Amino acid sequence: MHANPVSISLSSYGADLVRQQGQESFLELLAAAGVTRVEWREELFDDAPDAPDAAVLSAASHALGLECLYSSPLELWTPDGLLDPRLPAKLALARAFGAVALKVSLGHYHPQLDLTALQALLHDGAPVLLVENDQTPQGGRIEPLLQFFQRSEALALPLGMTFDIGNWQWQGESALHAAQQLGRWVRYVHCKAVQREASGRLVAVVPQAADLVAWETLFDEFTPGLVRAVEYPLAGADLLALTRAQVNNLARIGLGEEVSHA
């Protein structure tokens, strides 16, 4: 059985380092480590966060055989209950990147909102809109996301979910319950373990063997073979070896094999 595809969120290498070196500088490392997809992070494009040179970056990733996803911190729905007016520009930018998907968060959705404006912007094909559970009260709880995806399904909207395993902890939600409720819409999985510091602050950390085993149960609720992403710190003297080890671990989840920790 072939290993599952793995993505790297470039934020994993640390915001300061990535901003200093540029996101493009990590592409050869990703390709050498066996990565399938690069996740460009809008917030890490320093010079022009709303208008990076999509053509150059698209060509660079394509030349190395990497597909790409464009991640934006945009919240889909504003506090006023309106679709964020920047969404069309974000979709266009993701399209210019040749991205398979645009990742955003839910924002301030409630069941009374009219989805007509969103429906008008979405079309079958790339980029697919993927809505992620973030760490906020409005976008990090199961119920609003469930209501949104149920209504989207009723309208046959061509969108899906990015399921962030660790983010549920910020709102005290169960990742397993979330997977059971939302798994049918999941198209992409962000992987991170979470640890509480002495100050009480939650932080993303490298998964241990027990985390990888627990994640097997979550992936049982998803379509087999989904792309899963590293979104936890990758820092060390040998970034290639470290990245390759983490890619190998995530690639094995869902294959019924024992995973190792490196």
| Separation CA 35–CA 123 (nearest Å) | 28
Count of residues for the chain?
A: 262
Q: Mapping DSSP to helix (H, G, I), strand (E, B) and coil, where does residue 8 land?
A: strand
Binned at pLDDT 50, 70 and 90, residue 258 comes out as: low
HSE-CB at 47 with a 13 A cutoff on CA atoms is 7
Q: Give me the CATH topology for the region 6-252.
A: TIM Barrel (3.20.20)
List, in sequence order, every residue forming a beta bridge with 193; answer none if it has no partner.
205
Could you tell me if 129 and 105 are in contact, meaning their C-beta atoms sit under 8 angstroms apart? no
Rounded to an integer, the average pLDDT of 119-128 is 91
Whether pLDDT at 52 is above 90: no
- For residues 210 and 50, the model is more confident at 210
Rounded to an integer, the average pLDDT of 33-50 is 85
Q: Which of 47-56, 80-89, 151-160 has the lowest mean pLDDT?
A: 47-56
- Supply the mean pLDDT for the chain: 94
Rounded to an integer, the average pLDDT of 132-150 is 98
Q: Let me know if 242 is exposed, middle or buried by CB neighbors in 10 A (0-12, 13-18, 19+).
A: middle
pLDDT for res 126: 81
Per-residue pLDDT reduced to its tens digit, 95-123:
999 999 999 999 999 999 999 999 999 98
Could you tell me if 116 and 155 are in contact, meaning their C-beta atoms sit under 8 angstroms apart? no
Percentage with pLDDT > 70 across the chain: 95
Whether pLDDT at 54 is above 90: yes
DSSP category for residue 243: H
Q: Which pair of tokens denotes residue 73?
A: 């911190």
Could you tell me if 89 and 60 are in contact, meaning their C-beta atoms sit under 8 angstroms apart? no
| Separation CA 95–CA 34 (nearest Å) | 24
Angle between the N-to-C axes of helices 142-154 and 175-182, in degrees from 0 to 180, rounded to the nearest 10 = 10
Could you tell me if 227 and 197 are in contact, meaning their C-beta atoms sit under 8 angstroms apart? no
Whether pLDDT at 144 is above 70: yes
Could you tell me if 36 and 250 are in contact, meaning their C-beta atoms sit under 8 angstroms apart? no
Residue 16 has φ and ψ, to the nearest 5°, of -65, -45
Does this model's pTM top 0.85?
Answer: yes
Binned at pLDDT 50, 70 and 90, residue 262 comes out as: very low
CA distances from residue 20 to 8, 121, 245 in whole angstroms, order as listed: 18, 35, 25
| Separation CA 11–CA 168 (nearest Å) | 19
Whether pLDDT at 50 is above 60: no
Per-residue pLDDT reduced to its tens digit, 228-257:
999 999 999 999 999 999 999 999 998 876
Which residue's entry shows tokens 């100050």? 199
Residue type, 11: S
Which residue's entry shows tokens 């989805």? 115
Binned at pLDDT 50, 70 and 90, residue 225 comes out as: very high
